[in-house]
């Protein structure tokens, strides 16, 4: 004999009921089939009762909906075939209407009536399923479980009288030799034969009660997912079905919210060591999950992660608790008296406070009853009134083998900490089958996903990017990400997703990651107008793990946003130089926020595009070296310009060409005035540990007065033509001495300066080609020969690669 329970989705439509029939038809021996109400019907019955109680006539509409859901199933199951289901439905609907009318008129709804009302869901489904089986030629008998399962009179969550119930079921089976017995799940009756229910999700429990009574070979729970998953598959996309799991582990997971099995189900099966098999009605070929006794073979350490939403945390605190025996007894006694189920308890060894968690709905009565019990101590100011905190959740890590492994809780809490999930309370029983933590409800999704990644996903790390600026550099970055995504996944176990994009006009968010093949079109078609504050709010609300804000703009307003991101532990990667070259206190504040909130703030591309200049500099400083002197050519743009400026190409033409190729800033004056190089040397000086402002840097400009005075970019470009002689003279003077012109930045003895220099042959700067950059660091360790970093220092492609590298660095830091 086997017992097979089919849940709400499994019997929710005619199509699914046919699948149920096929599954049962394929069984060899006898079966007891337990069915839930059609999916969603129990909720609708409860809602209709509430509406009627509130005097809202919408309850009638709800009855009609309930009726039509069943008519739809009946019509497609039986078509024009003769059937009793239709009349049975009419009778039950009439009964429901009468009862709810009574509730509506009397403005009264007792638990007893509610149990009677919700039982209609299972009464209907079991009738329809039985008749459908019979119509398909199966030998099936319907038996109302209310005449077999006996309970107390706690109507909504009744306690089973096992002795009586098992006796009834055994007798019934002995007297009825039928291949298939169909019974409604969830419902039972008390000693006076009033209908009671076994609690929400209770049909699983019905199945276990029958399985125990008949010594079933197996209890099959047929549902809408392919087993018990490593985490709720609706929240964690990467979750996988667990092959086998022990009764204890299944019990822990279900107690902590794995709704796939109702917690009381396990005990009756465990008492008789009956295996429970969770299967998917919609995919019967999938293996599912087998719940059995723990085997030595099973060495999995963490089996699953689950959570309970809507938790309140209550804290009782005060000096009057220290060393006083009986406090816990009074506290939990008061809760028990009020039928409050305590989900979580912690007490520090100082005994100064006890912290416990209950369902949100129980918070008020819990506070009231505990405050009452400690009324005297509260009046004496020895204990404070209970403090209640809401909007919380419990997450739990479950596994029988956790006790024999170190480092599990360390890994759990560091993974949560790295993702800015604040832990309010922690509990771990001495059996170590479960480590649980109370966190904010809003963090549940992020917490479950990061824990899942840490414990189950072969260390696949997800990076979620929020990108501002899709111009020259930004679009190259998106190209590179798109090309590299597969490689990152396969070789580095990194899942890089672009979740949001913004240009100056529009912004686009796609939580599952934007398809980079067509980001352009999608951004253009996006609904939302660009707004930096709303952009931040959305990032914050999404609350995804390993989030990185990427600034590819040259816009000061964007840099004003960094602080907010860092304070949420969101990493910031920027090629925008404005933040790091702004006023020193601002730079310093961003650096310390980054440290305080454990959020990387990376800006390697601020100096020398993709060249690893800042990273090396930071490594030297962090390892105790001191920077004595810096000599550098830091403007790829100016280097390009002076390398191409000769007798055949006028200064104006070269500047124009550099602009068109994207080697200069959109406003070339930022490069030619030396301001860009000033910012770069300033950043290097600051990263060397020296406090300096931009205004302290000496800048001997090579531009003539007319160029410096020009107001618009166009005017400025014109002065390059009118003052051509000035530039030619600079060139000729240098070449006359066998020198080349280079725009050099220097830092020495606490002072920094930038300016055009004549560089003689043999100097390391002399042969600097194209748009290359070079930096010479003289330090305590590099005294005679400097550390030299040299290479392509400008251009969108190399800058984008530098940003890419910084993004990867955010998760390796």
CB of 203 to Mg ion, least distance (A): 7
Please provide residue 389's backbone torsions phi and psi, each rounded to the nearest 5 degrees. Answer: -125, 135
* Stretch of 243-251, 257-265, 363-371, 470-478 lying at the interface with ligand ADP (CB under 6 A): 257-265
Query: Should residue 608 be labelled a site residue for ligand ASP when binding is judged by CB under 6 A?
Result: no
Place of tokens 């660009």: 530
258 binds, among Mg ion, ligand ADP, ligand ASP, none (CB under 5 to 8 A by kind): ligand ADP
Which of 184, 201, 318, 802 lies at the binding interface for ligand ADP (CB under 6 A)? 201
Residue 297 tokens, joined: 């073979």
SS3 402: helix
Residues 40 and 7: beta-carbon distance below 8 Å: no
Identify which of residues 240 and 259 has a Cβ nearer to ligand ASP in the complex.
Answer: 259
Which of 68, 110, 191, 234 lies at the binding interface for ligand ADP (CB under 6 A)? 234
User: What are the C-alpha distances in Å from 538 to residues 502, 525, 593, 721?
Assistant: 12, 19, 21, 49
Identify which of residues 124 and 634 has a Cβ nearer to ligand ASP in the complex.
Answer: 124
Catalytic pick among 5, 279, 367, 680: 680
H-helix or E-strand spanning residue 574:
strand 571-574
Residue ranges in 36-55 that form contacts with ligand ADP under rule CB under 6 A: 36
Identify which of residues 123 and 501 has a Cβ nearer to ligand ASP in the complex.
Answer: 123
Query: Should residue 793 be labelled a site residue for Mg ion when binding is judged by CB under 5 A?
Result: no
CB of 36 to ligand ADP, least distance (A): 5
Residues 16 and 92: beta-carbon distance below 8 Å: no
Query: Should residue 224 be labelled a site residue for ligand ADP when binding is judged by CB under 6 A?
Result: yes
Identify which of residues 23 and 438 has a Cβ nearer to ligand ASP in the complex.
Answer: 23
Exposure string for 197-230, b = 16+ CB within 10 A, e = fewer = bbeebbbbbbbbbbbbbbebebbbbbbbbbbbbb
Residues 85 and 128: beta-carbon distance below 8 Å: yes
Binding mask 5-34 for Mg ion (x = CB under 5 A): --x---------------------------
Which of 260, 395, 507, 692 lies at the binding interface for ligand ADP (CB under 6 A)? 260
Query: Should residue 229 be labelled a site residue for ligand ADP when binding is judged by CB under 6 A?
Result: yes
Please report which residue ranges of 628-672 form alpha helices under DSSP H. 636-644, 651-660, 669-672
* Stretch of 252-260, 543-551, 559-567, 682-690 lying at the interface with ligand ADP (CB under 6 A): 252-260
CB of 308 to ligand ADP, least distance (A): 11
Exposure string for 160-181, b = 16+ CB within 10 A, e = fewer = bbbeebbebbeebbeeeeeebb
Which of 12, 201, 318, 659 lies at the binding interface for Mg ion (CB under 5 A)? 201
Strand order in the sheet with 140-142: 140-142, 180-184, 31-35, 2-6, 219-223, 276-280, 289-292, 244-246
Which of 9, 10, 16, 36 lies at the binding interface for ligand ASP (CB under 6 A)? 36
Which of 31, 113, 195, 203 lies at the binding interface for ligand ASP (CB under 6 A)? 203
759 Cβ contact list (under 8 Å, min separation 6): 739, 740, 741, 742, 744, 765, 766
CB of 462 to ligand ADP, least distance (A): 20
202 binds, among Mg ion, ligand ASP, ligand ADP, none (CB under 5 to 8 A by kind): ligand ASP
CB of 258 to ligand ADP, least distance (A): 4
Query: Should residue 126 be labelled a site residue for ligand ADP when binding is judged by CB under 6 A?
Result: no
CB of 600 to ligand ASP, least distance (A): 47
- Binders of ligand ASP: how many residues, by CB under 6 A? 13
- Give strand pairing partners of 394: 308, 438
Which of 3, 8, 63, 811 lies at the binding interface for ligand ASP (CB under 6 A)? 8
Binding mask 291-320 for ligand ADP (x = CB under 6 A): -------------x-x--------------
SS3 letters across 684-702:
HHHHCCCCCCHHHCEEECC
* Stretch of 197-205, 331-339, 347-355, 667-675 lying at the interface with ligand ASP (CB under 6 A): 197-205
Sign for the pseudo-dihedral over CA of 478, 481, 483, 485: negative
Exposure string for 787-808, b = 16+ CB within 10 A, e = fewer = bebbebbbbbbbbbbbbbbbbb
Cα 690–570–618 angle (5° rounding)?
Answer: 30
Distance from chain centroid for Cα 710: 52
Identify which of residues 125 and 561 has a Cβ nearer to ligand ADP in the complex.
Answer: 125
Query: Should residue 121 be labelled a site residue for ligand ASP when binding is judged by CB under 6 A?
Result: yes
Cα separation, 358 vs 339, whole angstroms: 11
For strand 219-223 and strand 276-280, is the pairing parallel, antiparallel, or unpaired? parallel
Active site annotation includes 680: yes
* Stretch of 229-237, 548-556, 620-628, 747-755 lying at the interface with ligand ADP (CB under 6 A): 229-237
CB of 83 to ligand ADP, least distance (A): 25
Identify which of residues 9 and 569 has a Cβ nearer to Mg ion in the complex.
Answer: 9
Residues 590 and 584: beta-carbon distance below 8 Å: no
Cα separation, 118 vs 100, whole angstroms: 11
CB of 158 to ligand ASP, least distance (A): 13
Residues 72 and 166: beta-carbon distance below 8 Å: no
Cα separation, 42 vs 718, whole angstroms: 79
CB of 202 to ligand ASP, least distance (A): 5
* Stretch of 201-209, 566-574, 638-646, 738-746 lying at the interface with Mg ion (CB under 5 A): 201-209
Q: Which residue's CB comes closest to ligand ADP?
A: 7
For strand 342-347 and strand 353-359, is the pairing parallel, antiparallel, or unpaired? antiparallel
Query: Should residue 49 be labelled a site residue for ligand ASP when binding is judged by CB under 6 A?
Result: no
* Stretch of 199-207, 403-411, 560-568, 649-657 lying at the interface with Mg ion (CB under 5 A): 199-207
Query: Should residue 12 be labelled a site residue for ligand ASP when binding is judged by CB under 6 A?
Result: no
CB of 122 to ligand ASP, least distance (A): 6
The CB density around residue 739, as the number of other CB atoms within 10 Å, is 16
Identify which of residues 254 and 366 has a Cβ nearer to Mg ion in the complex.
Answer: 254
* Stretch of 57-65, 196-204, 358-366, 488-496 lying at the interface with ligand ASP (CB under 6 A): 196-204
Cα separation, 479 vs 466, whole angstroms: 15
Identify which of residues 160 and 792 has a Cβ nearer to ligand ASP in the complex.
Answer: 160
Place of tokens 């003689």: 760
Query: Should residue 9 be labelled a site residue for ligand ADP when binding is judged by CB under 6 A?
Result: yes
Distance from chain centroid for Cα 559: 26
803 Cβ contact list (under 8 Å, min separation 6): 473, 477, 550, 552, 573, 575, 604, 605
Cα separation, 695 vs 699, whole angstroms: 9
Query: Should residue 264 be labelled a site residue for Mg ion when binding is judged by CB under 5 A?
Result: no
CB of 121 to ligand ASP, least distance (A): 5
583 Cβ contact list (under 8 Å, min separation 6): 693
Residues 261 and 221: beta-carbon distance below 8 Å: yes
Identify which of residues 42 and 434 has a Cβ nearer to ligand ASP in the complex.
Answer: 42
Interface with Mg ion (CB under 5 A): 7, 201
Interface with ligand ADP (CB under 6 A): 7-10, 36, 201, 223-225, 228-229, 231-234, 258-260, 304, 306
Interface with ligand ASP (CB under 6 A): 7-8, 36-37, 42, 121, 185-186, 200-204
Positions annotated as catalytic residues are: 680
């Amino acid at each position: 004999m086997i017992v097979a329970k089919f849940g709400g989705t499994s019997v929710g439509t005619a199509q699914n009921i046919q699948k149920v029939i096929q599954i049962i038809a394929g069984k060899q021996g006898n079966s007891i089939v337990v069915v839930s109400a059609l999916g969603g019907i129990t909720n609708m019955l409860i809602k209709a009762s509430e509406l009627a109680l509130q005097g809202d006539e919408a309850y009638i509409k709800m009855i009609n909906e309930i009726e039509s859901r069943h008519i739809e199933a009946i019509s497609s199951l039986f078509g024009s075939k003769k059937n009793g289901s239709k009349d049975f439905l009419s009778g039950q609907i009439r009964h429901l209407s009468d009862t709810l009318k009574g509730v509506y008129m009397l403005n009264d709804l007792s638990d007893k009536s509610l149990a009677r009302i919700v039982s209609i869901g299972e009464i209907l489904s079991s009738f329809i399923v039985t008749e459908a089986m019979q119509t398909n030629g199966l030998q099936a008998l319907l038996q109302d479980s209310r005449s077999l399962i006996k309970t107390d009179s706690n109507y909504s969550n009744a306690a089973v009288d096992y002795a009586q119930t098992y006796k009834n079921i055994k007798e019934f089976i002995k007297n009825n030799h039928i291949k298939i017995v169909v019974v409604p799940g969830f419902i039972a009756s008390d000693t006076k034969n009033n209908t009671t229910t076994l609690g929400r999700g209770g049909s699983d429990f019905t199945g276990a009660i029958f399985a125990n009574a008949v010594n079933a070979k197996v209890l099959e729970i047929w549902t809408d997912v392919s087993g018990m998953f490593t985490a709720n598959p609706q929240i964690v996309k990467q979750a996988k079905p667990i092959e086998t799991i022990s009764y204890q582990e299944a019990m822990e997971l279900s107690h902590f919210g794995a709704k796939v099995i109702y917690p009381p189900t396990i005990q009756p099966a465990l008492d008789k060591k009956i295996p429970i098999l969770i299967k998917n009605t919609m995919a019967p070929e999938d293996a599912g999950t087998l719940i059995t006794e723990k085997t030595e073979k099973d060495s999995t350490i963490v089996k699953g992660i689950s959570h309970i939403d809507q938790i309140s945390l209550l804290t009782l605190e005060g000096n009057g608790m220290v060393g006083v025996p009986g406090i816990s007894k009074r506290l939990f006694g008061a809760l028990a008296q009020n039928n409050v189920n305590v989900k979580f308890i912690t007490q520090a060894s100082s005994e100064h406070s006890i912290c416990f968690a209950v369902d949100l709905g129980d918070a008020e009565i819990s506070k009231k009853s505990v405050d009452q019990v400690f009324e005297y101590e509260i009046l004496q100011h020895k204990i404070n009134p209970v403090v209640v905190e809401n909007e919380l959740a419990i997450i739990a890590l479950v596994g029988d083998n956790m006790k024999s492994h170190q480092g599990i809780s360390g890994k759990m809490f560091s993974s949560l900490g790295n993702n800015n999930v604040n832990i309010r309370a922690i509990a771990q029983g001495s059996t170590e089958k479960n480590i649980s933590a109370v966190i904010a409800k809003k963090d549940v999704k992020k917490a479950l996903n990061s824990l899942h990644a840490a414990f189950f996903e072969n260390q696949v790390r997800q990076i979620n990017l929020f990108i501002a600026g899709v111009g020259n550099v930004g679009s190259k970055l998106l190209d590179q990400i798109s090309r590299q995504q597969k490689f990152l996944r396969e070789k580095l176990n990194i899942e890089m997703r672009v979740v949001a994009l913004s240009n100056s006009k529009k912004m686009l968010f796609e939580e599952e990651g934007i398809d980079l093949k067509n980001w352009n079109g999608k951004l253009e078609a996006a609904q939302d107008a660009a707004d930096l504050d709303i952009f931040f709010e959305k990032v914050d609300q999404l609350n995804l793990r390993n989030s990185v804000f990427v600034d590819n703009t040259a816009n000061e307003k964007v840099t004003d946003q960094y602080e907010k991101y860092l304070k949420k532990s969101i990493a910031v990667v920027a090629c925008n130089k404005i933040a790091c070259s702004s006023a020193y206190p601002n730079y310093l504040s961003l650096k310390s926020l980054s440290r305080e909130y454990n959020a990387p703030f990376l800006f390697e591309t601020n100096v020398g595009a993709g060249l690893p200049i800042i990273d090396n500099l930071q490594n030297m400083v962090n390892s105790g070296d001191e920077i004595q002197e810096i000599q550098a050519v830091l403007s790829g743009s100016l280097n390009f310009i002076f390398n191409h400026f000769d007798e055949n190409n006028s200064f104006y033409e070269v500047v124009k060409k550099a602009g068109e190729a994207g080697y200069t800033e959109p406003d070339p004056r930022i490069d030619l005035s030396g301001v860009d190089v000033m910012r770069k040397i300033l950043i290097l000086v600051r990263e060397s540990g020296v406090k300096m402002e931009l205004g302290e840097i000496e800048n001997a400009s090579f531009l003539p007065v007319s160029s410096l005075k020009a107001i618009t970019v166009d005017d400025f470009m014109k002065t390059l033509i009118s003052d051509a002689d000035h530039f030619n003279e600079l060139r000729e003077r240098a070449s006359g001495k066998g020198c080349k012109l280079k725009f050099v930045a220097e830092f020495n003895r606490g002072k920094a300066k930038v300016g055009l220099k004549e560089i003689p042959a043999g100097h390391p700067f002399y042969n600097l080609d194209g748009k290359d950059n070079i930096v010479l660091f003289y330090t305590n360790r590099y005294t005679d020969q400097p550390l030299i970093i040299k290479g392509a220092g400008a251009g969108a492609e190399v800058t984008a690669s530098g940003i890419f590298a910084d993004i990867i660095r955010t998760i390796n830091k």
